[in-house]
Structure 1
Amino acid sequence: MKKILKYISLALVFPLIFSSCLKDKELIGPDADGSIANIIEFGDVSIPVSAETSSIPLYSLAYDIAPTGVLNLKLKCVGAKKAESDIKVVIALNNSLIEKYNEENETEYAELSPSLYSLSSTEVTIKKGEREAVIPINLKPDQFTFDEDYAIGLTIKSVSAGVISGNFGNIILNLGAKNFFDGVYKYTTSASTSLVPNANKTVKLVTVGSNKGSLDPGLLGTYSNEVVYTIDAATNQITVACPSLGVQTPQDIRSVYDPATKTLKVYWKQAGGGRTFEETFVYTGPR
C-alpha cells in the first residue's frame, strides 16, 4: 500500500515540476488550461545572446558610426488573444538590472551614458485588436566608445490590462558601434593553412574596438578559439591575437587591409611556429 501511495505522489509531483519550468508562451495557447488572454512583454529586437538560464534576457546590437541611429523597442501582447481593449503600457529605465545580470552571468557590462540615447516616450498603447506597439530609442552611435561593453536596462512598469510577463518584463540592451571593417565576409584559406586548408565559407568580423575585429565563429571559422585582428589605421598593417595558441613574433608584414575593396590578407603562425595560417577575407555586406 505504501508503494502505491508513493507512486501516486510522484505522479502528482512531476507535472507540477515540469509545468513550473514552462515559460509564459508555453502556457498561453488558446486551448491551454487557465490560458491568459493578454500577457505584455518586450519583443525580441535581435537574437538573445543571454543564456536560457539567465533571469534577464540580453540583446546585443551594433550600429554604423553615424550621428543618429534608432532602435525600435517592441512591446507585445502575446496572450491567447489579441488586445481585447486598448492597452496602455508604461516602461521605465532600470539600470539596476545590469548589476544583477553581471552578478548572475559573471559579465562586466557598464551603463551607457544617458547623453548617448533618449527614449522618445515611456508610454505606448497597444491598440484593440493588435499585438504590438513600438517605442523608438534615439541613439548617437558616432559618440559611442569602445573601452567597455555598454548597456541599458528597461522594465515594464505597468499595464492598463492583462499581465506583465514574468520572463520578458525586463530586458537589457547591449549597444555599440560598428568599426570600419565590421561585417560579413567571404573567407578562404590557402592549401598550406594548418587544420582547415582550402576553406571557403562565410564568417563575420565583429567589432571589439575602434580598429579591432573578432572572428565569428572563431579560429578558421571552425573552432571556438578567439582570434582578434587589429588594423593600423595609418599603415593598414594587420596584427593577430589568438590567446589560446599564441602568435609568433615578429608578425608577418604581408598582412594588410585594402580599404578600397575591404579585403584582409592575413599571414600568421602559432607561437613557436607549430602551425601556419594564411587567410583572406573579402567583404560581402553588413552583419
Structure 2
Amino acid sequence: MQISSDSNIVTDLDAIHALLRAENEHILLYDTGAIARHENGYHATDHFILDTYNLTSVVFMTETIYNELNMDDKFNLRYQIYLDKFDSIAVIAEEDFFSFFSSVITNQHKAFSLMVHAAKKAFQLLPSLKQRIEQCKDYTDLHRSYNQYFIGSREKNKGEFSLLFLSNLLLLAYPNKKHRFISIDKDVYDIVDNCYLRQSAIREQIAENVKRDVSIFSTDTLLSSDILEKRIDDTNYSTLFQHFRQPERKVMYKVYERSILTEGIKSDSFSNDEFLNKVRKKDIQVIY
C-alpha cells in the first residue's frame, strides 16, 4: 500500500488503537460493492449517504478490501475523493492481525487461542478452512492457511470474510463498540447473519455472557432512514434513487400490520416510487 502522509487512511497499528480508544461509538465495516455504489452516487448527486455516521464512527478495511478498490491506481481518484469525506479510515493487513490483537491481549498464548476462536467463528461457513485453522500452531501458520484456501478455492468473498474475521477480533479487543457492516451483496448479509444474528449465534452470546451490537445495512436501509428522518428534500428523491438504488435488487423487509411489526422477513423488488411510498407510509421496515 502506498498511502500519502496527508491521507485520512491510517495504517499504523498504534494510531489505530488510539482511534479505537477515542470516543467513537461505531465501527463501519465497508465492503467494495457498497463503496463503489456510494462513490458513484456521491459524485453524481453530492449526497454523502453515511453523513449521519461520520462523526461517531471509524471506517475499517482490511488490506484485501483496500486492494480490491485498487486505490493506489492514479485512475481511481474518485474513490479517494469519496473516502476523504470520512474523518478516519483504518486499514489493517491480515498478516498484521496478530500484532494488532496481541497488543491488547498481551499473553501470547491466550491471544492466539482467542484468534483461533474468532477465525473459526468467522469462517464457519467454510468448513474446510475452519478445519485447517483448528490444526494451526501459530498465526504465521493460520495466515498461510487462510491465504492458501482463497487461492485454491472458488470462494469469491475473501474481502467480506476478511472483514468478518476482523470484526470478531475487534469485538474481543473492544467489546463496547457497535459494528455496522455496509454492503449491497446478499452473500454478505448471509455471512454476517450466520455469524452474529441468527438464533444459534444469539444463544452462543448468552452462553458466553457477552452482548454484541452488530447490524448490517444496505443502501436501501440507509435511504429508508433518510426518508423517515426527512433528511432529504422531496424534490431530490428521484435523482438520489436514480444513482443510489437498484430497483431490480430484492429488498429484505418486514411488514407492519395495524402498526405492529410482523416477524417474518420478506424479499421483493420495488420500483423507486413503490419503495418511497411504502417506507414513507410505514408499510414496511427495511431490513437489508
The two structures share one fold, judged by TM-score above 0.5: no
State the structure with bigger RCO (CA 8 A, min sep 6), 1 or 2. 2
User: What is the TM-score of this pair, normalised by structure 2?
Assistant: 0.25
Q: If you compute each CA radius of gyration, which structure gives the higher value, 1 or 2?
A: 1
More strand by share: 1
